[in-house]
Structure 1
Amino acid sequence: MADVAGTTLEAVDIMGLMKLLPHRYPFLMIDRIIDIDGDNSAIGVKNVTINEPHFLGHFPDQPVMPGVLIVEAMAQTAGAICIRAAGASKPSLVYFLTIDGAKFRKPVVPGDQLMIHVRKLRKRGNLLKFACEGLVDGQKVAEAEIQAMMVEND
């Protein structure tokens, strides 16, 4: 897929994500990332399934994906594209610093496919800020601005 300027947008599958991120089941919150434009923007994909452990207690009779895990999926999407853009010569970790303006508009439930749109707002040194939106079937279900810090992984 290419944008108007002719830049090729890229994707990362689950195996690629596991090379980029330190997270593993049950805390890896994204299944793949599509439409990656460097560290400028991307779309993370989370296939929400009933067999995820948080649904045992949130809530057994009416399962809802916890908002904090939606925000974590946003942070993991942003972090993965930051690390990927840094390249193999700079092994890095991304630490989550702030969450601003988080809003949850509609429950995310098993069977949904959560599309996590992240867009870089600014980068100053090793600090990055992203605008994030979660969509299900084209409807906004969540939004937040997150800030992260990249550090070298020693």
Structure 2
Amino acid sequence: MNRKYDILNINKIFEILPHRYPFLLIDRIVHLENFKYLKAIKNCTINEPYFQGHFIKEPIFPGVLIIEAMAQASSILIYKSTGQLNINKLYYFVGIDNARFKNIVIPGDQIIIEITFLQSKRNMFIFKNKATVNKNIICKSKIIFAKKI
């Protein structure tokens, strides 16, 4: 079934990212403009392994995994924009600047991740990232990727 809002469904994401459960943190891409913008969805469910121990009486989605989800979404934008889906042309997550966490994420929340392309210089890509739940900012940062040389 081909639905209008499935810009990239999970099967297409599997073709791009090498990550698999439990470390694949992107469920769907709903908007994509090469070298400009990407909007992704991460659905948070209680059966995910990190909720079992982070924290037992009040489970929250770990902040480091919000950053990882933003990095995965950024890498999808790189690969879709450049068309370089090749193990010999990898881009590595090499930096994060100005990361700020504003709210928590709990089971049942849907994280909306927005990636905005800022610039490319030499072998690097720089993105501005924002994660929200119900239009409330959860996290903001800049993420830097470098091409494997």
Q: TM-score, normalised by structure 2?
A: 0.90
**CA deviations over 1:107-151 (Å, ceiling 9, x no partner):** 001110000000011011320000000010111111111101133
Structure-1 residue corresponding to 2:9: 13
Q: Deviations over 1:34-91 (max 9, x none)?
A: 2100132111100010011011110111110000000000000000111122226x52
Give yes or no for contact 1:10–1:36 (8 Å, CA) kept in 2. no
CA distance in 2, matches of 1:126, 1:16: 26
Counterparts of 1:68-79 in structure 2 under 5 Å? 68-79=64-75
**Structure 2 Cα separation of the partners of residues 54 and 14 of structure 1:** 21
What does 1:36-51 align with in structure 2 at a 5 Å threshold?
A: 36-51=32-47
Q: Does 2:41 align with 1:26?
A: no
Report the AA paired with residue 17 of structure 1: I
> What is the identity percentage for the equivalent residue pairs of Structure 1 and Structure 2?
38
Q: How does 1:2-151 map to 2 (within 5 A)?
A: 11-87=7-83, 91=86, 92-151=89-148
Letter of the 1:75 counterpart: A
- Tell me the distance in 2 between the aligned counterparts of 1:50 and 1:10: 24
**What SS class does the counterpart of residue 85 from structure 1 fall into?**
helix
Are the aligned partners of 1:64 and 1:108 in contact in 2 as well (CA < 8 Å)? Answer: yes
Q: Which runs of 4+ in 1 moved over 3 A?
A: none
Contact 2:6–2:28 under 8 Å retained in 1: no
Q: Is the contact between residue 77 and residue 118 of structure 1 (CA under 8 Å) also seen in structure 2?
A: yes
* 1:4 alignment partner in structure 2: none
TM-score w.r.t. the length of structure 1 is 0.87
Computed over aligned residues only, the root mean square deviation of the Cα atoms, in angstroms, reads: 1.7
CA contact (8 A) 1:48 1:113 kept: yes
Contact 1:83 1:93 in 2 (8 A): no
SS of the aligned residue for 1:64 comes to: coil
Whether the 8 Å contact between 1:10 and 1:37 is mirrored in structure 2 is: no
